[in-house]
Amino acid sequence: MTQSQPILVFDLDDTLFNELDYARSGLQTVAGKIADEVGVKENELTEIFFNALAESRSNIFNRVFDEIGVDNNALIKKCIAMYRTHKPSIELYPEASKCLQRFASWRKFIVTDGNSTAQNSKIVALNLRDNVEHAYITYRYGHKYTKPSPHCFNLIAKRTKQQPQNIIYIGDNPTKDFVGIRPLGFGTIRVLTGQHKDINLTPKHAADVSIPDLSHLTADFIAEYQKNRA
């Protein structure tokens, strides 16, 4: 039984926690630190940031600075650094927390893209080091090894001496989470949580199966999934 027990690999952002909470936490921290310098009250600046976030993530500091009439590229750079290094106030999805407890005795890993410093502080804030054997932050291996590259998944296969068929990735983002590894035989389960839950791309980008959230990931579900795949 132990030999055939699959290895579970989780994505981080929007799979284990709500990534928008991280963004809000970062922007709030930045607002608190620069409010005096840009001459806008902290709570007003936070609101401006949150409104900008609701529109889009891209170039958010440039856009907000334009809006408040501040022209200061050096400060924008500082804001980005503050955002990435801030100590986030975030929590696991309740379903994710229970899921990790449910699979306490299983071998578990994380594979996540994103800025190494930021991803690491999320992992620390969510106390995930105690819950998984190792968290692979793909950028640490080089940008070409970010998803959809199978690089870190192959490292897990090597480390655990398991075939891809016995390694299951649980992720939320059809753009990159499954398309690189599914053809290699890795298991793929999509959780319909977070910012990408309504995105549907080509069949090539899909996971084998989708579940509404991690409360549906049970040992029985996995046994059934593996049986149907075999």
Report how far residue 165's alpha carbon sits from residue 188's, in angstroms, rounded to the nearest whole number: 10
**Nearest residue to Mg ion, scored by beta-carbon proximity:** 13
> Euclidean distance between the first and final Cα of the chain, in Å?
16
Question: Is position 28 an interface residue for Mg ion (rule: CB under 5 A)?
Answer: no
Shortest CB 91 distance to Mg ion, Å: 16
User: 187-191 and 134-137 as β-strands: parallel, antiparallel, unpaired?
Assistant: unpaired
Residue whose CB is less far from Mg ion, 166 or 173: 173
Contact range with Mg ion by CB under 5 A, out of 7-15, 52-60, 185-193, 215-223: 7-15
Which residues, numbered 148-187, are part of the site for Mg ion (CB under 5 A)? Answer: 172-173
Shortest CB 127 distance to Mg ion, Å: 19
Residue whose CB is less far from Mg ion, 95 or 172: 172
Question: Is position 13 an interface residue for Mg ion (rule: CB under 5 A)?
Answer: yes
Burial (CB < 10 A; 0-12, 13-18, 19+), residue 163, is exposed
Q: Among residues 6, 8, 14, 34, which is the contact residue for Mg ion, using CB under 5 A?
A: 14
Question: Is position 95 an interface residue for Mg ion (rule: CB under 5 A)?
Answer: no
Give the DSSP per-residue string, 54-95. HH-STTHHHHHHHHHT---HHHHHHHHHHHHHS-----B-HH
The position carrying tokens 């001496």 is 161
Per rule CB under 5 A, count of chain residues that contact Mg ion: 5
Question: Is position 11 an interface residue for Mg ion (rule: CB under 5 A)?
Answer: yes
Contact range with Mg ion by CB under 5 A, out of 6-14, 32-40, 53-61, 199-207: 6-14
The pairs formed by 127-133 with CB atoms below 8 angstroms and a separation of 24 or more are: 128/12, 128/16, 131/100, 132/10, 132/100, 132/108, 133/107, 133/108, 133/109
Residue whose CB is less far from Mg ion, 15 or 28: 15
Quote the DSSP letter at residue 213: S
| β-sheet bridge partners, residue 188 | 169
Question: Is position 113 an interface residue for Mg ion (rule: CB under 5 A)?
Answer: no
- Which residues of this chain interact with Mg ion, rule CB under 5 A? 11, 13-14, 172-173
